[in-house]
């Protein structure tokens, strides 16, 4: 049964995201994304020559490198990795967490997310627009849903690495990390605004910006 869990996870996520897709309905069988096109539309133009590789991606099959500041890594399988997903309204990702690792507070403006725990134990939660925290500890075989657009997070609460498979009802869900958006935007948000919002001083704002600044 345990060996079937990853298969069940993928089938379940595909079924869920197909039912509650957030993207517009497709108008033909397939519309494989032409990622090299200079034409700008809502989505991607269809390319003429299609192969099986347009519908294939091996990335989520192996663990990602979690050696970073937050101790987690997301391996996406969206339209940018699988061009055949264009117009299909579905995508997925693998998320790996080191011990003590987090997926920092972030939002997906274009999709609801559902996660299936493959290994490990995680503390997860989201915050409603009424500022209510909805949180739970989930473990191997569990499922949890993060509603579209709401700030949410995951933390490895166990003593071993953890892994989840995430499904989205969009071909490209969009991800906006709260800390990075506020403290590492280009150009940067004015120090006064951040200091006032977080009730800290300008020196603290600059220290946070320095930590989160993109590495050159």
Detail the residues annotated as belonging to a binding site: 103, 106, 108, 113, 152
Burial class (CB in 10 A: 0-12, 13-18, 19+), 210: exposed
d(CA 55, CA 187): 37
Name the 3-class secondary structure at 54: helix
Q: How far is CA 216 from the centre of its chain?
A: 24
- For 118-142, give one letter per residue: b (16+ CB within 10 A) or e: bbbbbebbbbeeeeeeeeeebebee
Known binding residues for Mn(2+) are 106, 108, 113, 152
Residue among 110, 90, 91, 87 nearest 27 (CA): 87
Sequence-distant (6+) residues with CB within 8 A of 1 are none
Which residue ranges are tagged as binding site for oxalate? 103, 108, 113
Instruction: Give the integer Cα–Cα distance in Å for 111 and 89.
Output: 9
Spatial distance between the Cα atoms of 78 and 169, rounded to a whole number of angstroms: 11
- Cα angle for residues 9, 82, 95 (degrees, 5° grid): 45
């Amino acid at each position: 049964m345990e060996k079937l869990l990853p298969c069940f996870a993928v089938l379940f996520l595909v079924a869920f995201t197909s039912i509650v897709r957030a993207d517009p309905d497709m108008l033909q069988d397939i519309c494989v994304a032409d990622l090299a096109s200079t034409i700008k539309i809502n989505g991607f133009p269809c390319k003429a020559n299609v192969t099986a590789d347009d519908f294939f991606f091996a990335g989520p099959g192996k663990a990602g490198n979690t050696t970073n500041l937050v101790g987690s890594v997301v391996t996406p399988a969206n339209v940018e990795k699988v061009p055949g997903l264009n117009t299909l309204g579905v995508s997925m990702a693998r998320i790996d967490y080191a011990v003590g690792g987090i997926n920092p507070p972030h939002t997906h403006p274009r999709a609801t997310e559902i996660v299936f725990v493959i290994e490990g134990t995680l503390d997860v939660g989201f915050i409603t627009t009424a500022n209510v925290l909805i949180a739970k500890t989930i473990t191997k075989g569990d499922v949890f849903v993060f509603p579209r657009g709401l700030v949410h997070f995951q933390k490895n609460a166990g003593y071993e690495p953890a892994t989840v498979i995430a499904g989205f009802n969009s071909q490209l869900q969009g991800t906006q990390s709260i800390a990075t958006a506020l403290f590492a935007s280009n150009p940067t948000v004015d120090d006064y605004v951040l200091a006032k919002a977080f009730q800290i001083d300008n020196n603290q704002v600059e220290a946070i910006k320095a930590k989160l600044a993109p590495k050159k």
